[in-house]
Amino acid sequence: MHSGFDPNSHGKATDSIGNTTISGSDGTALSMLFRERQFPDFISHWHSLLYWHRDILTQLEMQLEKERDRLALWVPVGVGMGIAAWFWLANSALWMGFIALCAGLALFVKSRDQGGRVSNALIWYLMLMAVGCVVIWMRSWAVATPVLERPAVFSFYAEVEETEVVSARNVVRLTLATHGKQDLPPRVRVNVSIDKTVSGLQASESQTSDLLVSNLRAGTVIQLRARLMPPSMPSLPGAYDFSRRAWFMGLGATGTSLGDIRIVQAAPPPSWGPLSSMPQYRQMLSNHVQSSMTDGAGAIGATLATGDRGAISDEDAEAMRRSGLAHLLSISGLHVTALVGAIYLLVLRTLALFPPLALRFRLPLFAAGCAAVGALGYTLLTGAEVPTIRSCVAALIVLAALIMGRSAITLRMVAAGALFVLILWPESLVGPSFQLSFAAVTAIIVLHEHPKVQTLLARREEGWPYRLGRMIAGLFLTGLVVELALIPIALFHFHKTGIYGSLANIIAIPLTTFVIMPLEALALLLDSLGLGTPVWWLCEKALGFLLFIAHYVSSRPGSVTVMSTMPQSAFALLIVGGLWLCLWNQRWRIWGIIPIIFGIVTIGASRAPDLYITGDGRHVAIRDDRGDLAMLRTRSGDFIHSMIIENAGIEGETIPLEQWRGADCNADSCSVTIEMADRSWVILATRSSYYIPALALSAACRRADIVISERRLPHSCQPRWFKADRTFLSQTGGMTIDLENQRIETVLSRSGRHHWTRLNMPDDAHPKKPN
| Distance separating alpha carbons of residues 289 and 520, to the nearest angstrom | 9
Q: pLDDT value at position 762?
A: 62
Q: Collect contacts of 480-488 with beta carbons under 8 A, ≥24 apart.
A: 481/443, 481/444, 481/447, 482/440, 482/443, 482/444, 483/324, 484/443, 485/439, 485/440, 485/442, 485/443, 485/578, 486/436, 486/439, 486/440, 487/561, 488/566, 488/571, 488/574, 488/575, 488/578, 488/599
Q: pLDDT value at position 556?
A: 83
> Number of C-alpha atoms within 13 angstroms, CB side, residue 387?
24
Strand partners, 679: 676
Average pLDDT, the chain: 82
- Residue 189, pLDDT > 50, answer yes
Q: Which of 311, 316, 320, 317 is nearest to 291 (CA)?
A: 311
Q: pLDDT value at position 651?
A: 78
**Side chain identity at 218, as an amino acid letter?**
A
Q: What is the pLDDT of residues 129-149, one digit of tens each?
A: 999 999 999 999 999 999 998
Q: pLDDT value at position 198?
A: 57
Q: pLDDT value at position 24?
A: 44
**Side chain identity at 104, as an amino acid letter?**
G
Q: What is the pLDDT of residues 294-326, one digit of tens each?
A: 878 888 888 888 877 777 888 888 888 888 888
Q: What is the β-pairing status of strands 722-724 and 706-708?
A: parallel
Per-residue confidence band for 8, with pLDDT thresholds at 50, 70 and 90: very low
Residue 358's H or E segment, with its range, is helix 355-360
- Residue 498, pLDDT > 50, answer yes
pTM (predicted TM-score): 0.83
- CA atoms 580, 585, 591, 592: torsion sign: positive
Q: pLDDT value at position 768?
A: 63
Per-residue confidence band for 261, with pLDDT thresholds at 50, 70 and 90: confident
Q: pLDDT value at position 405?
A: 66
Residue 268 has a CB neighbour count (10 Å cut-off) of: 9
Q: Is 707 helix (H, G, I), strand (E, B) or coil?
A: strand
- If you average pLDDT over residues 376-382, what whole number do you get? 82
691: left (phi over 0), alpha (psi -120 to 50) or beta: beta
- Residue 660, pLDDT > 60, answer yes
DSSP 583-606: H--SGGGGGGHHHHHHHHHHHHH-
Q: What is the pLDDT of residues 670-719, one digit of tens each?
A: 999 988 767 889 999 998 888 888 888 899 999 999 999 999 999 899 99
Q: pLDDT value at position 214?
A: 63
Q: What is the pLDDT of residues 560-603, one digit of tens each?
A: 888 888 999 999 999 999 999 999 998 899 999 999 999 999 99
Strands of 706-708's sheet in order across: 663-665, 669-676, 679-686, 706-708, 722-724
